[in-house]
Chain A
Amino acid sequence: MSAIFDIYLLEALINGVLLGGVLALLALGLNLIFGVIDVVWICYAELIMMGMYSMYYLYSVYHLPFVVVAIISMAGVGVLGVLLHVIVIQPLLGAAPINQLLATGGVLALLQSTATITFGIDFKNLGIRLPVIEIADMFVSYTRLLAFGVALLGMVVLYLFLSRTYTGTAIRAIAQDRQIMPLMGVDTKRIYIITSAIGGVLAGLAACLLVLQYDVHPFIGLTFGPITFMICVLGGLGSMVGGFIAAFVFAEIISVGGLYLELEWGYVFAFVFFIVMMFVRPQGLMGRRS
Chain B
Amino acid sequence: MLEVNGLIKRFGGFTSVNNVSFKVDQGEILGLIGPNGSGKSTIFNMLSGFFPPTAGSIRFQGRELAGMAPYAIIQGGIGRTFQIPRPFRRLTIFENVALAGYYGQEGRTRAKAFESAEKALTLVGLPLDRHAPVDGLGAAGLKKLELAKALATEPKLLLADESLGGLDEHEMDQAADMLNRIRAELGITIIWVEHIMGVLMRVVDRVMVLDHGEKISEGLPSEITNDPRVVEVYLGSDAVAVQAMAAARG
Contact = CB atoms under 8 A, between A and B. Distances in A.
Interface string A230-247: 000000000000000000
B70 A172 contact: no
Q: Tell me which of A169, A176, A177, A181 has the highest count of chain B C-beta atoms within 10 A of its own C-beta.
A: A169
A177 B87 CA distance: 9
Interface stretch (A183-191, A204-212, A274-282): A183-191
A183 B73 CA distance: 9
Interface stretch (B101-109, B120-128, B177-185, B237-245): B101-109
B88 A173 contact: yes
B48 interface: yes
Contacts of A176: 88-91
A179 B70 CA distance: 10
B90 A172 contact: yes
A186 B75 CA distance: 9
Interface size class, chain B: 20 to 34
A185 B76 CA distance: 9
B70 to A, nearest CB: 3
Contact of B103 (A172, A177, A180, A186): A186
B104 A182 contact: no
B74 interface: yes
Interface string A16-50: 00000000000000000000000000000000000
A176 B99 CA distance: 14
A184 B91 contact: no
B147 to A, nearest CB: 12
Contact of A185 (B75, B88, B89): B75
Contact of A166 (B82, B88, B103): B103
A181 B69 CA distance: 12
B71 A186 contact: yes
A93 B26 CA distance: 39
10 contacts: A172-B88, A173-B95, A180-B86, A182-B70, A183-B48, A184-B71, A184-B99, A185-B100, A185-B153, A186-B99
Given A172-B91, A185-B75, A186-B99, 7 more contacts: A173-B91, A176-B89, A180-B86, A182-B49, A183-B48, A183-B70, A186-B103
